[in-house]
Amino acid sequence: MAGIYIHVPFCASKCSYCDFASFPKEFGKQEAYFACLYKEMRSRFAEYKDKTYETVYFGGGTPSFADPKFILGAMRLIRECVKLSDSAEITLEVNPGTIDRNKLRIYKQAGITRFSIGLQSSDDKLLKKIGRIHDREDFVKACDILKGYNLSADVMIGLFDQTKESVKDTIDCAINGGVKHISVYALTPEVGTPIYTDYLNGELPDSDEVADMYEYVVKYLDGLGFKRYEVSNFAIPGFESRHNLNYWRRGEYIGFGVGASSFMNGRRFTNVFTIDEYVHFLLNGKYAEASSDVIEGEDAKFEFVMLALRTSVGADVNKYRSAFGSDFFTDFADALKSQKAYLDISADSVKIKDEYLYVQNNIIVAFMK
């Protein structure tokens, strides 16, 4: 299977922790941006038209902030140019402050099946402090508008003064809104974002406190039937994100727009990070690739392991053998020995033990050659 990713780099304003490719002040460029995006889609799809696409993901930025006619246009183009499976999962990221029934009418026409809503917290004071444009009530309203769809919510931990009670309340709020999937992200204090100064000044919880909060969340969600299927992702069984599972299984995907990455026919390539550069390349009849690498040999094998060990099912050694024609246990004998205490090893799979999944990075580096 292959997935399609479409990046929408506009937001109403910038949250204090965010360094994603999103540019609130450049909203006036949306017309030009989507014209170029459509151009890129037509050209790339002509190259990769023989595949069947199973998922589409509109990410951002804030796709729900853009004029919905552009989302509809992108979906029309996809259906015109390539084969999109009848049962495709089509996700759109939503900021609760930017959704209404008129937009939903157009998303429905576009065939969106799933909405991923950025809640972050149900605490209005905290939302304000991190620069969110919405409050708890806006999330409740968004869920009401989107009722009946497959819903997911993003929740953050590691923020100012968060307590287990406040995180529990956030999860309860999401579940009361009808979500069947929750992504829980521990704050990464990115250099250059306003929150980084607060991090330097010791105003945020330390890593032990965040780890403790994470363990609490895992248990609480488990008790509510939300199973962890990847380090940051939890779902009622059957509601896992097919689009993201494809990434972790090292499946193919084609990305469009600013900063979007693709992995097609063994080549990984990523677009430039500014709207001006992106538009400039496309208007001049060129692709806007900033980097391109053919991933092969040891690099491809390590990538397989790195992605698979993020998931709760781990690495499927039979799939490894059919992908690379070699034996997982032989190729990674040293790492399997040194990391034995942290791994569940069976004849068919190797996975990180549940209690160590949060610190998977430390374990995964041992597999690097």
How far from chain centre, in Å, is Cα 155? Answer: 13
Distance CA 278, CA 244 (A): 25
- With contact defined as beta carbons under 8 Å apart, do 94 and 150 qualify? no
Span 183-222, contacts to ligand SF4 by CB under 6 A: none
Q: Does 257 sit near ligand SAM (CB under 6 A)?
A: no
Q: Does 61 sit near ligand SF4 (CB under 6 A)?
A: yes
Provide the angle, in degrees to the nearest 10, between the axes of the packed helices 317-324 and 297-308.
160
Distance CA 161, CA 312 (A): 30
- With contact defined as beta carbons under 8 Å apart, do 280 and 251 qualify? no
Query: Which tokens sit at 127?
Result: 């939302």
Q: Which is nearer to ligand SF4, 97 or 314 (CB)?
A: 97
Interaction pattern, residues 123-162, with ligand SAM; x per rule: CB under 6 A? -------------------------------x-x------
The residue whose Cβ lies closest to ligand SAM is 118
Q: Which does 89 bind (CB under 5 to 8 A by kind): ligand SF4, ligand SAM, none?
A: none
Distance CA 123, CA 263 (A): 38
H or E segment and range at residue 278? helix 275-283
Closest Cα to residue 152, out of 67, 232, 72, 34?
232
The single residue among 2, 6, 8, 15 that binds ligand SF4, judged by CB under 6 A, is 15
Interaction pattern, residues 87-106, with ligand SF4; x per rule: CB under 6 A? --------x-----------
- Paired strand residues for 152: 116, 181
Q: Which is nearer to ligand SAM, 182 or 279 (CB)?
A: 182
The single residue among 23, 58, 60, 309 that binds ligand SF4, judged by CB under 6 A, is 60
Q: Does 273 sit near ligand SAM (CB under 6 A)?
A: no
Q: Which is nearer to ligand SF4, 195 or 213 (CB)?
A: 195
Q: Which residues in this chain contact ligand SF4 in the complex, by CB under 6 A?
A: 11, 14-15, 18, 20, 22, 60-62, 95, 118
